[in-house]
Amino acid sequence: MRPGKLIRIPTLLALGLFLTFTVSLMAQEKTETTTTQGAATQTVKVERGEVIYVSGNDLVLKMENGTYRHVNVPESATATVDGKQIGIHDVKVGMKLQKTVSTSTTPTMVTKVDTVTGTVFHVVPPLSVDLTMEDGKTQEFKIPKDQKFDVDGQMVDAWGLKPGMKITATKVTETPETVVTQKAKVTGKMPPPPPANIPILFVVLH
């Protein structure tokens, strides 16, 4: 009765691949990932019901709105009733239960930067450039419109790239994600005790 869960909901945002070029003396591969969190929002939902049936782990509640709900309660679930922690086998018919669910939603942005250094093998300005990597394989990179490149401290466009230049290609991808954390707490009250048997005095008049 006190479950908690973490829901993670990814939403892919495709960004343009951009290339940043600088002179490099050695080939290398590098990946960096950073996560930035935004402001969290909080919501609270309260449900109330009365126990009308309980057997083993099966529980039937009559909710505040008049509907009925059947719940299979795990052995590990607990509730706080009249200040005491109880399990499913302590639940009694007539017990009033309240479930409070607190939900925290936090937007995050995961930024991944992949950096690969290689040698210009072939360039098709202004569309793409092929790089020969350290392992000898060639990989093609698309060049965004109006992209400028830093080569020996000078900014050049795609037409300034020449085969044999050692350059570094950087790919940046941003993926927004929503982290949802839920916490549930169940509290309640024991049913009122049955009325006591009060003896009735009969007076017989003679």
Q: Are 158 and 125 in contact (CB under 8 A)?
A: yes
Mean pLDDT of 1-14: 43
Contact 19, 116 (CB under 8 A): no
Q: What is the pTM of this model?
A: 0.54
Torsion (CA) 17, 22, 27, 28 in degrees, nearest 10: -50
Residue scoring higher pLDDT (16 or 170): 170
Per-residue pLDDT band at 4 (split at 50, 70, 90): very low
Mean per-residue pLDDT, 179-204 = 75
> Would you say residue 202 has pLDDT above 90?
no
Task: Identify the pLDDT of residue 21.
Answer: 39
DSSP conformation class of 20: -
Q: What are phi and psi of 158, to 5 degrees?
A: -60, -30
Q: Angle CA(133)–CA(136)–CA(142) in degrees, nearest 5? A: 40
pLDDT at 61: 94
Query: Predicted confidence band at 199 (pLDDT cuts at 50, 70, 90)?
Result: low
Distance between CA 15 and CA 38 in Å, rounded?
Answer: 20
**What confidence score (pLDDT) does residue 145 get?**
75
Q: For 74-108, write each residue's pLDDT tens digit.
A: 999 999 999 899 999 999 999 999 999 999 999 99
φ, ψ for residue 155, nearest 5 deg: -90, 120
How do residues 135-191 score in pLDDT, each as one tens digit?
888 888 887 777 776 667 677 788 888 898 877 766 778 899 999 999 999 999 888
- Cα separation, 42 vs 104, in Å, equals 5
Say how far apart CA 188 and CA 133 lie, in whole Å.
66
Q: Is the Cβ–Cβ distance between 123 and 165 less than 8 Å?
A: no
Class in CATH terms, 41-106+179-189:
mainly beta
Q: Which helix (H) or strand (E) holds 57?
A: none
Average pLDDT of the chain, as a whole number = 79
Position 28 scores a pLDDT of 53
Domain residue extents for the chain:
11-40+107-178, 41-106+179-189
DSSP state of 127: T
Q: Give the pLDDT confidence score for residue 153 in this predicted structure.
A: 67
At residue 18, does pLDDT exceed 90? Answer: no
More confident position, 26 or 137: 137
pLDDT bucket at 201, cuts 50 / 70 / 90: low
